[in-house]
Amino acid sequence: MELIRKIVVGINPKDAMAYFVGQRAGDSSVDAILLDKSHFHNTGKRRYLIYISDETTGTKLWKSVEDMPCLIEYDCNF
């Protein structure tokens, strides 16, 4: 399984939006970034799902990034 640590959304990474696991989002934090394999299989387009979690509401879908230029950074153990 490929664990995504960070996603940078946009054509120019310098001016793009970045989301990473552990990033604060209000009272929550980014819990996971996943490639939606079912969506890719059905449409041929990549869609990334960004989930957030907190202690009171648990984990929930926060954002989706569909068919956009993205730079993906995977979680590697060095």
The domains of the chain are located at: 4-74
pLDDT digits (tens, 9 = 90+) for 42-68: 999 999 999 999 999 999 999 999 999
In whole angstroms, give the CA distance from residue 30 to residue 77: 20
Total residues belonging to the chain: 78
Task: Enter the pTM of the model.
Answer: 0.89
| Position 1 pLDDT exceeds 70 | no
pLDDT of residue 3: 87
| Position 38 pLDDT exceeds 90 | yes
| H helical segments located in 18-62 | 37-43
Q: Are 9 and 17 in contact (CB under 8 A)?
A: yes
